[in-house]
Amino acid sequence: MQNETSLRVLYLYKILMSYSDVDHPLSTNQVLQYFDSIYGIQMHRTTVSKYVELLCSSGIDVVEIRSRSKKYYINDRTFDLPELKLLIDAVQASRFISAKKSEALVEKLTSLASEESKEELKRNLINTSKVKSENEKTYYIIDAINAAINSGKKISFYYTEYDEQKNLVIKNGGKPYCISPYSLIWNGDYYYVVGFYEARNRIHTFRIDRIARQPEILSEDGYPMPADFDTSEYALGVFQMFDTYKSEKITLIVENSLMKYIIDQFGIDVYTEKYDDNHFSAQVTVSASPNFFRWIFGWGGRIVIRSPESVVFQYRKMIESIIEQQKIFLHSN
| CA distance linking residue 10 with residue 5, whole number of Å | 9
Confidence of residue 133 (pLDDT cuts 50, 70, 90): low
Write the CB contacts of 267 (distance below 8 Å, at least 6 apart in sequence): none
In a domain, 131, yes or no: no
pLDDT > 70? residue 7:
yes
Q: What percent of the chain has pLDDT over 90?
A: 33
Asked if the structure places residue 239 within a domain, the reply is: no
Residues 83-102 have a mean pLDDT of 76
d(CA 12, CA 154): 50
% pLDDT > 70, the chain: 87
Taking only the tens place, the pLDDT of each residue in 267-318 is: 788 899 999 999 999 999 888 888 788 889 999 999 999 999 999 999 999 8
**Residue finishing a domain among 195, 229, 263:** 229
Please report whether residue 235 resides in a domain: no
Distance CA 119, CA 163 (A): 44
148 pLDDT higher than 70: yes
Could you tell me if 26 and 72 are in contact, meaning their C-beta atoms sit under 8 angstroms apart? yes
pLDDT(172) > 80: yes
- Residues 197 and 142 placed together within one structural domain of the fold: yes
Which of 321, 282, 284 minimizes the C-alpha distance to 302? 282
Same domain as 99, residue 69: no
Residue 182 lies in a domain: yes
In a domain, 240, yes or no: no
Residue type, 288: A
Q: Can you give the pLDDT at residue 240?
A: 54
The residue out of 175, 195, 229 marking a domain boundary is: 229
253 & 223 share domain: no
pLDDT computed for residue 164 by the predictor: 66
Query: Is 104 a member of any domain?
Result: yes
143 and 221 share one domain: yes
Domain range spanning residue 66? 2-74
- Tell me, yes or no, whether 253 and 222 share the same domain: no
| Least-confidence region, from 11-15, 66-70, 80-84, 289-293 | 80-84
- Weakest mean pLDDT among 98-102, 181-185, 202-206, 294-298: 98-102
pLDDT single digits (tens) 246-265: 678 999 999 999 998 888 78
193 shares a domain with 148:
yes
| Total-model pTM | 0.54
Query: What is the average per-residue pLDDT within 113-139?
Result: 66
What whole-number distance in Å separates Cα of residue 112 and Cα of residue 37?
22
CA 156 and chain centroid, separation: 24
pLDDT of residue 3: 59
155: β partners: 179, 217
> Which pLDDT band, with edges at 50, 70 and 90, does 243 fall under?
very low
Residue 188 has pLDDT above 90, yes or no: no
pLDDT tens per residue across span 37-52: 988 888 888 889 888 8
Domain count, the chain: 4
Least confident span in 4-13, 61-70, 167-176, 212-221: 4-13
